[in-house]
Amino acid sequence: MTDTPRRIMIAGNWKCYKTAAEAVQFIQAFRAYPLAEKAVDVALAPTFPALDAAVRAAEGSPIRVAAQNVFWEPDGAFTGEVSVAMLKAVGVGMVILGHSERRQYFGETDETVNRRLRAALAGGLEPIFCVGESLAEREASRTLDVIRTQIEGGLAGVDESSADRTILAYEPVWAIGTGRTATPEIAQEVHGFIRSELAKKYNKSLANRIRILYGGSVKPDNAAALMAQPDIDGALVGGASLKADVFWGIVNA
C-alpha cells in the first residue's frame, strides 16, 4: 500500500502578540499573496480575543485559524480556561497544545497536555501537539528519552483514528526565539525518531501519514533546507510569523 505524500503545513504561532485589529490587518495583507498556488497548508494561531475576528478575516481563503491552548472540561468553574465548544463556536478548527512555553511558564505537564489533547480530538479540533527537549537535556544526551516520554504521555489513551488527526511539532526549547535553529540534520534525526515511535505505538502506515512540523527560529532563509528533510513536513513559526511578508517568505520557500 502506498501512502499519499504528506502535505507541507506552515503554522504561525503568534503567542502573546497582536490585538484583534492587528490580526485582521495581517490576514488582509497576507491574503494578497498567491496562497492557493502553493501546495502548502497555512494556519495562524492568534490570541483568544483575536480568534473570532481572525476567523472572519480568513473566510474564503485557505488560511486556517488555530487557538494556542484549550481546556479539557466542557464548562464549569475554571477561571481563565477556554473550552473546545467555545473555540468551535467561533469557527476555530485547530489548536496548539503542549507548547514548551506552556510547559515552562504555566506548569503544563504531559498529563495536562494529554487531557487537553484528548478533549480537543474528542470535540473534533485538529491539534498541533508540541514536544521538545531543553538545552540541558540535549547536553546530557537525553533528547530522545525526553521526546519518547513526552509522546507516550501526551498520546496516552489516544486511539489510532484520533492519532491520525493529530499533527506533531518538534520544537527544541533551545532553538525557540533564540535565533539558534537546529541544523536540518539534527532536526531530521529527531523527526525520524518521532516517526519510528509512532510506528511502534500505532503502525507504520499511520506513522507515515502523520505530519511532523519543526519549530524553533524558522526563517525564510532556513525553511527550504529544513523542509527538504524526509521527515520534516512543515514548520511552526513564532517570531517570523508576525510580519506578513516574512511569513510569506517561509510559505513561498
Catalytic residue numbers? 99, 171
Shortest spacing between CB 216 and ligand PGA, in angstroms: 5
For residues 8 and 218, which CB has a smaller minimum distance to ligand PGA in the complex?
218
Instruction: Find residue 130's DSSP bridge partners.
Output: 169
For residues 72 and 247, which CB has a smaller minimum distance to ligand PGA in the complex?
247
Q: What residue ranges bind ligand PGA (CB under 6 A)?
A: 13, 171, 176-177, 215-218, 236-240
Shortest spacing between CB 2 and ligand PGA, in angstroms: 32
Shortest spacing between CB 155 and ligand PGA, in angstroms: 20
For residues 54 and 237, which CB has a smaller minimum distance to ligand PGA in the complex?
237
Compute the Cα dihedral for 41, 106, 104, 129 and give only its sign: negative
Residue 131 near residue 117 (C-beta atoms within 8 A):
no
For residues 8 and 240, which CB has a smaller minimum distance to ligand PGA in the complex?
240
User: Cell 480568534 sits at which residue?
Assistant: 51
Per DSSP (E only), the strands in the chain are: 8-13, 40-45, 63-67, 94-97, 126-131, 167-170, 212-215, 234-237
**What is the rounded distance in angstroms from the CA atom of residue 214 to the CA atom of residue 24?**
26
Per DSSP, the three-state class of 41 is: strand
Chain residue at closest Cβ approach to ligand PGA? 238
Shortest spacing between CB 220 and ligand PGA, in angstroms: 12
Compute the Cα dihedral for 166, 170, 173, 179 and give only its sign: negative
